[in-house]
Amino acid sequence: MVMTISGYEFEGPYSVETTVIPADRAAVYVIICKASDGKHYVKDVGESGEIGIRIANHDRRPCWERNCDGSLFVYLRYMPSSQGYTAADRRELESKIRNQYNPPCGKI
């Protein structure tokens, strides 16, 4: 499935608990809480050149869990260097989303 976040298409939702994400791909990620009220809330935004490793071992995961009374999901926008994207491009998109949603976990 695809979800539009800040005007960009992201793949997901993928369960933070059960999905194995390819380790060596570059992407921007958005952590979403599907709350008990059925609504979706942005809890964190980030980027990595090794997205699977980053999500699996994330230092802010306790913050995600504290701030979600439902299920945690990740949405991904793959931005590989083979398609001309740079780490600066990923950071720029991360900043745009973070500024729009002001998630409770993480800072740039």
What's the pTM value of the predicted model, to 2 decimals? 0.94
Task: List residues bridging with 11 in a β-sheet.
Answer: 2, 76
Question: Using CA atoms, how far apart are residues 20 and 34, in angstroms rounded to an integer?
Answer: 19
Per the domain annotation, does 107 fall within a domain?
Answer: no
Q: What is the DSSP letter of 17?
A: T
Residue 31 within a domain: yes
- Residue 32 is assigned to a structural domain of this protein: yes
Give domain status of residue 7, yes or no: yes
Task: Residue 41: give the domain boundaries.
Answer: 2-101
- The answer, yes or no, to whether the previous bond of 13 is cis (omega within 30 of 0) is yes
| Average pLDDT of adjacent 10-residue blocks, the chain of 108 residues | 94 92 92 94 96 93 96 96 94 96 86
Number of domains making up the chain = 1
Cα 26 to Cα 71: distance, rounded to the nearest angstrom: 24
